[in-house]
Amino acid sequence: MATPTLDKAEKSGKGAPEPGFADSPYIKVTFRIRRFNPEVSEDAQWQDFELEIDPKERVLDALHKIKWDQDGTLTFRRSCAHGICGSDAMRINGKNRLACKTLIKDINPHKPITVEAIKGLTVLKDLIVDMDPFFQAYRDVMPFLITKGNEPTRERLQSAEDRERFDDTTKCILCAACTSSCPVFWNDGQYFGPAAIVNAHRFIFDSRDEGGEQRLEILNDKDGVWRCRTTFNCTDACPRGIEVTKAIQEVKRALITRRY
């Protein structure tokens, strides 16, 4: 049997991959972030940041690297980093997404990746918007169980079929990706918006709840469900996969038929 031999380059080490770099997953990515600081300027402006980063990391990781290593003034919200708290919804490459659920490799890292605040709510600084109008609409639909009569002595029972009726809308994490992707909401901040309707749906279709009529009347308002133009932006934007437009349609139907 022939004895294997090393060629000259292999012997000298030249041409051989350097340890630790041959399989480096890191690539250079440009993040183009819309910055706004009312203490500095009335106008927002785009700023580029270049990063060496593994494209399997998430946009939230990139924002952290930029904040920690390049510009500590970059401002954004985040908490759980795992798609649960709903605090890091932003427009990434023109689409509403959660930064913690968006892998860099999935959004073409070979071109600058744009990151900006969600639309329709007042920008306070960089990627942070004023969420008060959003949460006010949520509170307005009374997102809690309403019952009449005395407290029961045991739990309120519900069949599996009845529970299934509103299962989809229980998944909402109040991230505002749907509401801030809605053209009706952009044009008129008075509209309740998809998220509030989703959360009204969650209780209207709960067989244990007795506040459905009240909620329907609230959403029968000129700024309620009839403003929806069924553009499906909200369904496309929802990081929880909730069929937002379908939920809005079901609330509209319940208003007409009064059956829910």
Q: How many C-beta neighbours within 10 Å does residue 162 have? A: 13
Helix axes 132-140, 194-204, angle to 10 degrees: 30
Among positions 74, 184, 242, 251, the unique one binding ligand SF4 when judged by CB under 6 A: 242
Distance CA 180, CA 141 (A): 18
Instruction: Give the binding range for ligand FES (CB under 6 A) out of 16-24, 47-55, 85-93, 230-238.
Output: 85-93
Q: Which is nearer to ligand FES, 129 or 219 (CB)?
A: 129
Q: Binders of ligand FES among 44-83, rule CB under 6 A?
A: 78-81, 83
Least distance to ligand FES from the beta carbon of 133, Å?
20
Q: Do 173 and 86 contact (CB within 8 A), yes or no?
A: yes
| x/- map, 54-83, ligand SF4, by CB under 6 A | ------------------------------
Q: Which does 178 bind (CB under 5 to 8 A by kind): ligand FES, ligand SF4, none?
A: ligand SF4
Least distance to ligand SF4 from the beta carbon of 165, Å?
17
User: DSSP of 151-167, one letter per residue?
Assistant: PPSSPPP--HHHHHTTT
Any contact of residue 198 with ligand SF4 (CB under 6 A)? yes
Task: Report in angstroms the alpha-carbon separations of 101 from 59, 127, 235.
Answer: 8, 16, 16
Which two three-digit tokens encode residue 156?
């309120």
